[in-house]
Amino acid sequence: MTERTTGLLYGVGLGPGDPELVTVKSARLIGEADVVAYHSARHGRSIARSIAAPYFREGVIEEKLVYPITVETTDHPGGYRGALDEFYEQAAERLAAHLDAGRTVVVLAEGDPLFYGSYQHMHKRLAHRYPTEVVPGVTSVSAAAARLGKALVEAEEVLTILPGTLPEEELTARLASADSAVVMKLGRTFPTVRRALERSGRLAEAQYVERATMPGERTAPLAEVDPSSVPYFSVAVLPSRVAAGASAPVYDGPGEVVVIGTGPAGPLWLTPEARGELAAATDLVGYTTYIDRVPVRAGQQRHGSDNKVEAERAEFALDLARRGRKVAVVSSGDPGVFAMATAVLEAACADPYRSVPVRIIPGMTAAHAAASRAGAPLGHDYAVVSLSDRLKPWEVVAARLRAAAVADLVLALYNPGSQSRTTQVGLARDLLLEHRAADTPVVLARDVGGPTERVRTVRLGELDPAEVDMRTILLIGSSQTQAVQRDNGTEVVWTPRRYPEA
């Protein structure tokens, strides 16, 4: 058996501030340590030391790791990050000297050592060199929820934890789409965090917790907090809506309709803005298949309908908004591309809905999603045409196809066929062959992003209408579009951005 020749390194979590929330194991290790190390600012005071002090043994060696800077500027040649990296290297070597001498070293960490903790900078520099153990601690997140007496998450809710140092736009997007959230590192970031909460529509829900479990603890609705009074040791909390039994919000006044593009398939195609609007709505209105893609939320009303009643659906949504509801009209892809935005705006521009606010939230289109799977077939000018003749005569469709073909545009063809429309793909193929070579690449993309996704490339002369249904989109190349076999066996389709001179 090999004898241990170095000391042991422990990263010890102290909990959020109350010495009684230090775990039994942490207390024992602190009391047995040869060396106790802790970080502090240049003023020399250490909250970590004050929490752990009741457990120090007499004669323990204390290593105070004093930051050279905190938020101020520095003339270090490596800038702020360079100054801190140099400090961490020096601090790690100080601890390494004790470990090499066979001493047990405990590094104190407020909260949990590996959760935004200073200890982790020692861990990454020392844990591969010495026997190391991390002892977890109660986080400020858990402490804040406990002091508020509010659950963070329930059932399938997802908790989002954010540093307040993120840019305001990023904070806003993440808060808008979060079920529940905690924003840490407030202090000087508080005005930015407050604006992000307001812009995301979450300010009314937000709670403020300062110095949880410490002397001077304070809780309050965040909207009531004076920004000048906020210390670093504070957090913003958006508690669980489900646990609170919260229903979706009900709005005074005329309400509004928000037409939301959910992309061509599941959650991966949904923008943060769309997520936030879906979460904030009192009512969801849309084709049942598309509504089923949206997570169920407590108190939110869901109004599904058939895919062929767009006008009625639009009027229903506007009528709900007139009664003070915030209505999300759910549309696949982008709502302005052969989807619900037109139907809603058409109804909203007539009586009695002219005063109802309407907003459009964009989404990933089926054409762009399909193009990304194939390569870059839409790399140059292209036209988007629906092959459906349900709302316009086939003669109009044919005229537009012919014009696009003469102009040598790549074509994205929506709504190519259905059970009641079986001839359009063949007619379009034959028309385009009058202007395009038979070997023109055609991308057939079905259920892009979905469980039965299939994307493949055929040639225009070989396009079989029987292989195309309503869930398929066709991307038909121009005279310049290339289909190239790569070394890995895949075929990529792309249209160059340059076009030859006449």
Q: Map 430-468 to HEC letters.
A: HHHHCCCCCCCEEEEEECCCCCCCEEEEEEHHHCCHHHC
Please tell me the distance from the alpha carbon of residue 449 to that of residue 397, in angstroms, as a whole number.
Answer: 28
Find where tokens 């913003």 sit: 236
pLDDT tens-place string over residues 53-80:
999 999 999 999 999 877 667 778 878 7
Q: At residue 194, does pLDDT exceed 50?
A: yes
Q: Does residue 69 sit in helix, strand or coil?
A: coil
Query: What is the pLDDT confidence band of residue 251, given thresholds at 50, 70 and 90?
Result: very low
Average pLDDT over residues 159-164: 96
Examine the fold and report which residue of 117, 138, 159 is the final residue of a domain before the chain moves on: 138
Query: What is the pLDDT confidence band of residue 250, given thresholds at 50, 70 and 90?
Result: very low
Give domain status of residue 338, yes or no: yes
**What is the chain's Cα-based Rg?**
31
Examine the fold and report which residue of 85, 118, 138 is the final residue of a domain before the chain moves on: 138
288 and 334 both lie in a single domain = yes
Identify the residue with better confidence: 177 or 56: 56
387 and 473 both lie in a single domain = yes
Give domain status of residue 251, yes or no: no
Give domain status of residue 300, yes or no: yes
Q: At residue 449, does pLDDT exceed 50?
A: yes
Count of the separate structural domains present in the chain: 4
234: left (phi over 0), alpha (psi -120 to 50) or beta: beta
291 and 408 both lie in a single domain = no
Q: Which helix (H) or strand (E) holds 25?
A: helix 24-32
404 and 449 both lie in a single domain = yes
Q: What global pTM score does this model have?
A: 0.78
Q: At residue 253, does pLDDT exceed 90?
A: no
Which range among 264-273, 434-443, 467-476 has the greatest average pLDDT? 434-443
Are the C-beta atoms of residues 345 and 358 closer than 8 Å to each other?
yes
Nearest of 227, 223, 91, 238 to residue 174 by alpha carbon = 238
Please tell me the distance from the alpha carbon of residue 428 to that of residue 349, in angstroms, as a whole number.
Answer: 35
351 and 449 both lie in a single domain = no
CATH number for the domain that contains residue 397: 3.30.950.10
Nearest of 476, 429, 478 to residue 457 by alpha carbon = 476
Give domain status of residue 88, yes or no: yes
Q: At residue 429, does pLDDT exceed 90?
A: yes
pLDDT for 28: 98
Average pLDDT over residues 366-377: 96
Query: What is the pLDDT confidence band of residue 83, given thresholds at 50, 70 and 90?
Result: confident
pLDDT for 1: 42
Q: At residue 123, does pLDDT exceed 60?
A: yes
Question: What is the domain range of residue 30?
Answer: 9-138
Examine the fold and report which residue of 238, 272, 302 is the final residue of a domain before the chain moves on: 238
Q: At residue 214, does pLDDT exceed 90?
A: yes
Give domain status of residue 243, yes or no: no
273 and 357 both lie in a single domain = yes
Q: At a CB cut-off of 8 Å and minimum separation 6, what does 324 contact?
A: 250, 251, 252, 253, 254, 255
20 and 123 both lie in a single domain = yes
Q: At residue 421, does pLDDT exceed 80?
A: no
Question: Kind of pairing, strands 283-287 and 234-238?
Answer: unpaired
165 and 178 both lie in a single domain = yes
Give domain status of residue 456, yes or no: yes
Give domain status of residue 17, yes or no: yes
Determine the residue type at 226. Answer: D
Q: How far is CA 354 from CA 253, 282, 346, in A?
A: 14, 21, 10
Nearest of 425, 408, 424 to residue 463 by alpha carbon = 425
234 and 292 both lie in a single domain = no
Lowest mean pLDDT among 99-103, 125-129, 385-389: 385-389
Are the C-beta atoms of residues 317 and 257 closer than 8 Å to each other?
yes
Please tell me the distance from the alpha carbon of residue 388 to that of residue 390, in angstroms, as a whole number.
Answer: 6
pLDDT for 71: 67
As a whole-number percent, the residues of the chain with pLDDT over 70 amount to 96
36 and 130 both lie in a single domain = yes
Average pLDDT over residues 378-393: 93
> Which tokens sit at 46?
């250490």
Q: How many CB atoms lie within 10 A of CB 286?
A: 29
Average pLDDT over residues 378-385: 96
146 and 133 both lie in a single domain = no
Are the C-beta atoms of residues 193 and 170 closer than 8 Å to each other?
no
Please tell me the distance from the alpha carbon of residue 378 to that of residue 24, in angstroms, as a whole number.
Answer: 63
CATH number for the domain that contains residue 110: 3.40.1010.10
Please tell me the distance from the alpha carbon of residue 293 to that of residue 258, in angstroms, as a whole number.
Answer: 17
Give domain status of residue 250, yes or no: no
Average pLDDT over residues 460-471: 92
Q: At residue 248, does pLDDT exceed 80?
A: no
Instruction: Write the DSSP string, 82-112.
Output: HHHHHHHHHHHHHHHHHHHTT--EEEEESB-
134 and 153 both lie in a single domain = no
pLDDT for 501: 84
